[in-house]
Amino acid sequence: MEKLYGDPTAIWRSWAREVHGVPIESGHHMAEENPAAVAAALASFVA
């Protein structure tokens, strides 16, 4: 997505003070294609 659109979190920065994102190597269905990376990103977010 970043190759097509640039930083996908950039649009959210005009609406939120704190925006974070991490790249996940995957196709369209991230949770199915790379569940370990999605779980790690979510765990980091809620920690």
CA distance 25 to 34: 7
CA distance 37 to 26: 9
pTM here? 0.72
What is the tally of structural domains in the chain? Answer: 1
User: Which domain, by its residues, includes 27?
Assistant: 2-46
CA distance 37 to 34: 6
CA distance 29 to 26: 7
* pLDDT for position 34: 97
Q: What is the pLDDT of residues 1-47, one digit of tens each?
A: 778 888 888 888 989 999 988 889 998 899 999 999 999 999 999 98
User: What 3 state SS string does 1-27 have?
Assistant: CHHHHCCCCHHHHHCCCCCCCCCCCCC
